[in-house]
Amino acid sequence: MTLLNYFEELMHSQEFAPPYRSLSIRTIAWLVCIVSCLFCLSAPIASADTVYLKEGSSQKGVILEETQKSVIMSTAEGEKEFFFDGVTDIEYDQPEKNLFHTGLQLERQGNRAKAIDLYQQAITVNSQFTKAKDRIVYLRSLARYEQEHLSQKKIDQKEGALQRWNVEPLEKSLYDLPQEEKNTILHRQLGIEIEQDGLFPVVKNTLRLPRPFHNTFQTGDRIVEIWGESARYEGLDAVIDKLIGPRFSQIKLVIERTLRIERQDARFATAPLKALGVTLQQEPSGIEIVSLKKGSLAEKSGVLKHDYLVGVNGATVRYMSLSQVANAMKGKDVPLDITVQRTMWLMRGELK
């Protein structure tokens, strides 16, 4: 029986109220369809991440960030943060993210081999899952360094071996050094000093390194991610331990930087993106700057192609459409502050 046949029978039944008999069958059918669609839209989303709490309840939404201590979730009521001491389990909607989450937990417990196995499974599910690839690179490079250090310790135990073989001793393990020495090594290797400022470590001093160790840090940069793992709540000592490493090895970071732009171009009042000289694109991971006009105001202010725009005048753009972002940039005379996140691949240098 079709929908129209059903309503034709319903209209002639005794249960159907007289006032509605004046409506056409097709009109009633469309009204019911519209109401059904509205109900479906208002119903909870089945395909969502879920956080299960120790108190017995659960929360659905989209997990935006996972840190050492918590997960930050976007929900229908706004952003919420759930600390692990009150969480029993986390279930991601995407299987590769479930594998990555479990891998992180195992890695933090010291089971690196099993973590790498899970990261590889995540890549098998989604070959474009960059965070899993980053963790594998990080863990394997760390294992190579530790293996070299262990081999050197075994050599040192043999009396006179170094002198007989004319072998230069390997540097003492970086992770065994006092914190002050680690700070010195960080300055030598990456050309920066950092301090804790709120939730994230911040660059307080920079020293430009010679090529090929050239870095692009600026004072005030926030380090938000190291090898695909959030630096939120990490603490200064733990962050420094992750930043230093074997000489001439690579490291992948995401930094956050706020840039000030003088809105002297008249187009800022109506077309701020043209005034800046940028093209934005909404991606699953955020709002990406996909093109940058050469010699534009944005380029002169330090914006790079493939930066992600995360803030305008101190307000997050996480939930804004592209048109809303453009509207937020409109204005004149007063400066415009934009906050971008940038992925950086660096090589650890060695300054004397």
CA distances from 272 to 24, 128, 298 (A): 50, 33, 11
pLDDT score of 237 more than 70 = yes
Euclidean distance between CA atoms 241 and 289, whole angstroms: 32
Q: What is the mean pLDDT of residues 320-338?
A: 92
Mean of pLDDT values over 123-128: 95
pLDDT digits (tens, 9 = 90+) for 275-297: 999 999 998 788 999 999 999 99
Mean of all residue pLDDT scores within the chain = 82
How much is the CA Rg of the chain, to the nearest whole Å? 28
Quick one: pLDDT at residue 248?
A: 82
Q: Give CA separation, 254 vs 15, 103, 187, 305, 307, in Å.
A: 65, 21, 18, 15, 10
pLDDT at 170: 42
- Per-residue confidence (pLDDT) for residue 1, from 0 to 100: 46
pLDDT at residue number 124: 96
Q: What pLDDT score does 212 carry?
A: 64
- Give the three-state DSSP class for 180: helix
pLDDT of residue 219: 93
Give percent of the chain with pLDDT exceeding 70.
76
Question: What is the arithmetic mean of pLDDT over 56-75?
Answer: 92
Question: Residue 260 — left, alpha, or beta (φ > 0 → left; ψ -120 to 50 → alpha)?
Answer: beta
**Which run of H or E residues covers position 80?**
strand 78-83
Report pLDDT digits (tens) over 158-211.
Answer: 444 444 444 444 455 666 788 888 888 898 889 899 998 888 999 998 887 766
